[in-house]
């Protein structure tokens, strides 16, 4: 839809025939369209065609929240961030909304008051799918304010009461309403923060500084974790673990050929300016095979994992000594 043809008011939006759908249903329909057309869900993710991708397709079609379990360097973050490609390109919101309010069913006080006051003349803004993604690396210092929100002292100083919902500064999760929220290394999130996260995602309400606010958010929750940390009892609260309908185990490349493909995709082009760098094909296979053997070696700590980044880094190092220039060639 061209920018100049998109509706700018609630009246125009209704007249356009736009239909509001939950984010999981929206992704499901777009995934079905891609699968039916024989297109991959994601570009640039190699080696998962017969293992991870079918499981992810099933999870999206079933409308599940998803957690990826795997060691470092297994494309978990890339797949999570690529999920935005399954969202509609543009989404209408109530203009000025901090939490992407649905024009048909606004949930924030700002949007509710605006719709009540303007009616069909309520202004509409449009959000691109890339802006419907929120991400947080779970760290011990992560707070409820980061994820859910906090009272804004500036708004209080302007004369608003603490009990006024408009005094709130929304956190990452509400700001990702009608989108995808990702938590990396989920088990590192402290238990009390996990409880707060579950509360807003499951119970649809939250208490901030003693003020109770109901937030019926529409969010797809995606997380990543190390399998050992995730299965360690006490690292994640059971109700939050139960929320994930699909647990998908990722893996390293199963053969050297796939590893070589990934290296070719990820490695930086070796040639610089008039310096031409040639890497023999057999060196690519040597590097890939070295990583494959390291993953099965009892002398390597497999808990840390032998990332594909090892192959990419070794491929770059193999450029040393392979450089030739026009001057060197002419001698």
Q: What is the DSSP string of 141-197?
A: T--HHHHTEEE-HHHHHTT--TT-GGGEEE-HHHHTTTEEEEEESGGGS-HHHHHHH
Whole-number Å distance between alpha carbons of 34 and 147:
32
215 compared with 118, residue with greater pLDDT: 118
Token readout for 306 is 């032998």
Instruction: Summarize pLDDT for 60-75 with one digit per residue, the tens.
Output: 999 999 999 988 888 8
Domain boundaries, the chain: 3-249, 256-330
Residue 115's pLDDT band (cuts 50, 70, 90): very high
Whole-number Å distance between alpha carbons of 27 and 85:
9
Whole-number Å distance between alpha carbons of 138 and 226:
12
Which pLDDT belongs to residue 231? 66
The answer to whether 133 and 180 have CB atoms below 8 angstroms apart is yes
Using DSSP's 3-state secondary structure scheme, residue 256 falls into helix
In total, the chain counts a number of residues equal to: 331
Token readout for 16 is 């356009």
Token readout for 264 is 């070719």
Taking 50 as the threshold, does the pLDDT of residue 247 lie above it?
Answer: yes
Whole-number Å distance between alpha carbons of 331 and 226:
54
Whole-number Å distance between alpha carbons of 323 and 271:
8
Strand partners, 277: 323
In which element (H, E) is residue 241 found? Answer: helix 238-243
200 compared with 19, residue with greater pLDDT: 19
CATH-assigned architecture of domain 3-249: 3-Layer(aba) Sandwich (3.40)
In angstroms, how far is CA 209 from the centroid of its own chain? Answer: 29
Taking 80 as the threshold, does the pLDDT of residue 207 lie above it?
Answer: no
The answer to whether 160 and 219 have CB atoms below 8 angstroms apart is no
Which pLDDT belongs to residue 315? 65
Which pLDDT belongs to residue 228? 76
Taking 70 as the threshold, does the pLDDT of residue 178 lie above it?
Answer: yes
Token readout for 301 is 């700590």
In angstroms, how far is CA 291 from the centroid of its own chain? Answer: 28
């Amino acid at each position: 839809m061209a920018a100049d043809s998109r509706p700018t008011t609630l009246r125009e939006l209704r007249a356009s025939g736009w239909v509001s759908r939950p984010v999981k249903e929206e992704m499901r329909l777009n995934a079905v369209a891609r699968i039916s057309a024989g297109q991959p869900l994601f570009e640039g993710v190699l080696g998962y065609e017969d293992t991870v991708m079918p499981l992810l397709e099933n999870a999206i079609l079933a409308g599940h929240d998803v957690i990826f379990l795997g060691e470092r360097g297994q494309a978990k973050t890339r797949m999570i961030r690529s999920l935005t490609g399954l969202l509609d390109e543009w989404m209408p919101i109530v203009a000025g909304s901090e939490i992407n309010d649905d024009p048909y069913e606004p949930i924030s006080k700002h949007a509710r008051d605006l719709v009540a006051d303007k009616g069909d003349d309520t202004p509409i803004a449009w959000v691109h799918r890339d802006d419907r993604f929120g991400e947080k690396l779970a760290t011990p210092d992560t707070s409820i304010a980061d994820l859910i929100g906090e009272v804004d002292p500036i708004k209080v100083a302007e004369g608003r009461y603490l009990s006024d919902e408009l005094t709130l500064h929304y956190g990452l999760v509400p700001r990702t309403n009608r989108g995808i929220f990702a938590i990396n290394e989920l088990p590192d999130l402290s238990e009390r923060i996990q409880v707060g996260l579950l509360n807003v995602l499951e119970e649809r309400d939250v208490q901030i500084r003693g003020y109770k606010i109901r937030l019926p958010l529409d969010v797809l929750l995606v997380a990543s974790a190390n399998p050992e940390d995730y299965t360690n009892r006490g690292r994640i609260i059971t109700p939050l673990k139960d929320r994930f309908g699909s647990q998908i185990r990722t893996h390293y490349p199963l053969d050297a050929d796939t590893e070589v493909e990934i290296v070719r995709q990820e490695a930086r082009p070796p040639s610089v300016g008039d310096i031409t760098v040639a890497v023999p094909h057999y060196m690519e296979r040597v590097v890939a095979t070295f990583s494959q053997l390291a993953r099965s070696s009892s002398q390597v700590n497999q808990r840390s994992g032998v990332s594909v980044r090892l192959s990419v880094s070794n491929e770059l190092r193999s450029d040393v000594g392979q450089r030739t220039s026009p001057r060197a060639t002419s001698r």
